[in-house]
């Protein structure tokens, strides 16, 4: 199907500068102090096309979801085709071919046999948590402890928020959040001299925590995203896995960000040698086309919910569970990943020479790289999400045709797989030019 011509103005008149719409409310945005958002009329590959024709390279994949590229033709066609056949059906009473196909494929890729659908990353985590918790109740166990890592981010709904590190985001809700035990996250970077020691300390802390009967341990394999693009070594995660298995606790891999090639393997946990009992997926699942979440569970977990007693049932579900359009997009996205695995497996080597060069800049601290994600910190006295240094870089890059969204002083590039060598080089050149001297 030919792609429609890209519009450069809205139907209702000449281009206007960015403004706040009187009826919309943007996420994670203080509208009183932020510049108004520009109007996006189209996306094409790695680029966003703004009103007036300005183009920006989307160097963070629109909040980490746009996996292959914007408006990718085969996914668009699959969604359109599915919309003409079956747009939605109640999944408590029916199954459909796209869901079956997706279930078979994700089971084969992950080794986790059972797929439970939800709508986004937070709910995929909620389902993993509720499943882990109820699995123990169904066995008449009173294991209660939950363990998560310092700096973790697992989503914005209450359960996911409770699992995440306490922060500016969760502060107003503090009294409503259940208790979670915390283990240090030995984040590392190039030329980090203290890594072994940090890992030993974290594992020692985990050993101590696991002396309490533990229901589940949750982690973001290889890469903590929203917590500041904080990377750990695979060997550390294997140390965690060993201890969690020995303690008989369940391991939940939150692969909402890291799944689908983001860290160089289809799933970061499997690439690192982990064997999670539950896995939460979203973001890249549909190639970034439709909101959908998935929680994968091992057959052993699933069997814990089967039986004559209705109380064993997982009483959880969403109106749009297994939406056929989302499943069609996910299957089309998996086709692309399977046709060209070198696109994600080889991405780290595309970043590397650029990051090596950038790392020599005096304003670049803690350069680090995993798969499609390259990051570094700016030197600041008061690190954190509210640090304004990143926002200055964001504005500067916008002027140079690149869209980034730093996390405080943490600058990162997390581009779609389709980004060309020239576009990637432009991102790094723009970054270098925008850095403080």
The answer to whether the CB of 88 falls within 8 A of the CB of 76 is no
Interacting span for ligand PLP (CB under 6 A) from 51-59, 241-249, 250-258, 329-337: 250-258
CB 13 within 8 A of CB 39: no
Question: Residue 259: helix, strand or coil by DSSP?
Answer: coil
Stretch that binds ligand PLP, among 46-54, 249-257, 305-313, 344-352 (CB under 6 A): 249-257
* Token code pair at residue 166: 């306490």
d(Cα 38, Cα 15) in Å, to the nearest integer? 10
Shortest reach from residue 81's CB to ligand PLP, in Å: 25
Residue from 183, 226, 369, 370 in contact with ligand PLP (CB under 6 A): 226
Q: Which is nearer to ligand PLP, 61 or 188 (CB)?
A: 61
Across the strands, what pairs with 58? 403
- 225: its two tokens: 């995203």
Tokens 């790094």 correspond to: 428
Report the residue from 121, 151, 264, 416 that binds ligand PLP according to the rule CB under 6 A. Answer: 121
Stretch of 4-12, 119-127, 186-194, 367-375 lying at the interface with ligand PLP (CB under 6 A): 119-127
Cβ contacts of 103 within 8 Å, gap of 6 or more: 115
Residues 6+ apart with CB under 8 A from 385: 167, 168, 169, 407, 408
Q: Which is nearer to ligand PLP, 169 or 305 (CB)?
A: 169
- Per-residue interface string for the shown chain with ligand PLP, residues 73-112, x marking contact by CB under 6 A: ----------------------------------------
Out of 114, 143, 154, 230, the only residue in the binding site for ligand PLP (CB under 6 A) is 154
Q: Which residue has the tokens 């039986």?
A: 307
**H helix runs in 86-190, sequence order:** 97-110, 121-138, 158-163
Among 51, 58, 72, 254, binds ligand PLP (CB under 6 A): 254
H or E segment and range at residue 246:
helix 234-247
| Shortest distance, position 288 Cβ to ligand PLP, whole Å | 11
Residue nearest to ligand PLP (CB): 121
Shortest Å distance, C-beta 241 to ligand PLP: 18
Q: Which of 394, 402, 393, 392 is nearest to 425 (CA)?
A: 402
Nearest to ligand PLP of 183, 247 (CB atom): 183
Of residues 370 and 430, the one with the C-beta less far from ligand PLP: 370
- Beta strands 223-224 and 230-231 are antiparallel
Count of CB atoms situated within 10 Å of the CB of 238: 14
When asked if residue 323 is in the footprint of ligand PLP (CB under 6 A), the reply is no
d(CA 223, CA 232): 7
Minimum separation from the CB atom of position 361 to ligand PLP (A): 28
Shortest gap between Cβ of 157 and ligand PLP (angstroms)?
7
> 345 to 404, contacts with ligand PLP by CB under 6 A?
none
Q: Summarize as ranges the residues that interact with ligand PLP (CB under 6 A).
A: 120-122, 125, 153-155, 220, 225-226, 254, 256-257, 282
């Amino acid at each position: 199907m030919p792609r429609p011509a890209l519009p450069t103005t809205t139907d209702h008149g000449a281009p206007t500068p960015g403004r706040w719409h009187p009826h919309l409310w943007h996420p994670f945005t203080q509208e009183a102090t932020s510049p108004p958002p520009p109007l996006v009329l189209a996306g094409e590959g790695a680029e966003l096309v703004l009103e007036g024709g300005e183009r920006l390279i989307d160097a963070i994949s629109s909040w980490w979801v746009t996996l292959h590229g914007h408006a990718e033709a085969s996914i668009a066609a699959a969604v359109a085709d599915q919309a003409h056949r079956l747009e939605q059906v109640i999944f408590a009473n029916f199954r459909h071919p796209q869901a079956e196909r997706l279930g078979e494929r994700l089971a084969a890729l992950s080794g986790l046999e059972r797929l439970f659908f939800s709508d986004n990353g937070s709910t995929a985590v909620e389902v993993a948590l509720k499943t882990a918790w109820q699995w123990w109740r169904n066995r008449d166990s009173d294991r209660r402890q939950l363990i998560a890592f310092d700096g973790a981010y697992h989503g914005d709904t209450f359960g996911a928020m409770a699992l995440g590190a306490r922060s500016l985001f969760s502060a107003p809700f503090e009294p409503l959040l259940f208790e979670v035990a915390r283990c240090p996250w030995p984040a590392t970077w190039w030329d980090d001299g203290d890594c072994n020691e940090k890992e030993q300390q974290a594992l020692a802390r985990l050993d101590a925590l696991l002396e309490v009967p533990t229901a589940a341990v949750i982690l973001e394999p290889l890469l903590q995203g929203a917590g500041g693009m904080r990377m750990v070594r695979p060997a550390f995660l294997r140390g965690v896995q060993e201890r969690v298995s020995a303690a008989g606790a369940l391991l939940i891999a939150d692969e909402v960000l890291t799944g689908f090639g983001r860290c160089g393997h289809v799933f970061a946990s499997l690439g690192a040698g982990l064997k999670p009992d539950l896995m939460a997926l979203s973001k890249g699942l549909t190639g970034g086309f439709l909101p959908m979440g998935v929680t994968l569970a091992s057959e052993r977990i699933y069997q814990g919910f089967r039986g004559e007693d209705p109380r064993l049932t997982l009483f959880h579900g969403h109106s749009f569970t297994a939406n056929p359009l989302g499943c069609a997009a996910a299957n089309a996205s998996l086709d692309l990943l399977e046709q060209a695995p070198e696109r994600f497996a080889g991405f780290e080597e595309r970043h590397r020479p650029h990051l090596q060069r950038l790392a020599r800049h005096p304003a670049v601290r803690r350069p680090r790289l995993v798969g499609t994600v390259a990051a570094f910190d700016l030197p600041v006295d008061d690190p954190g999400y509210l640090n304004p240094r990143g926002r200055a870089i964001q504005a500067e890059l916008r002027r140079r045709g690149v869209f980034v969204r730093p996390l405080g002083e943490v600058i990162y590039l997390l581009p779609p797989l389709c980004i060309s060598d020239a576009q990637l080089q432009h991102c790094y050149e723009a970054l270098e030019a925008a850095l403080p001297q």
